[in-house]
Amino acid sequence: MNWEGPNEETKKTVVDFQSLGIEQNQIEVNAGSEGDLELGHSDFKLEEFQVSLWQNNEEIKLPVNESNGFQFPDSKGNYILEVNLSSDRGDVQYVGNINLN
């Protein structure tokens, strides 16, 4: 993460994001369902947004539409969700533990 807030700059690096993702509480998601990124703050301009699922060290890139929506695959199983966001304030990566059922 490299982010510039209103009063400070934050930098943090996680070497193994997949291990961090496994540690997160698992979220149940219907296979083939739609997902989206809801930005609760408007203090930055979104420049780029990428979503991937990881399973057994293999990446599945999920295309993102103009409204920041994406579709989960139909393949059931456990995945690590990786979201990379770039903005005028910096870059940040989010990870999650997803079970597609």
Token couple for 48: 């780029």
pLDDT of residue 41: 66
User: Domains of the chain: which residue ranges?
Assistant: 2-100
CATH of 2-100, one of 1.10.3470, 2.60.40, 3.40.50, 3.10.450: 2.60.40
Could you report the per-residue pLDDT of 23-49, keeping only the tens digit for each?
Answer: 999 999 999 999 988 776 667 888 888
Positions of the chain with pLDDT under 50:
1-2
* CA atoms of 5 and 23, how far apart (whole Å): 27
3 state DSSP class of 18? helix
Task: Spell out the residues 6+ positions from residue 66 whose beta carbon is closer than 8 angstroms to its own.
Answer: none
Distance CA 91, CA 37 (A): 15
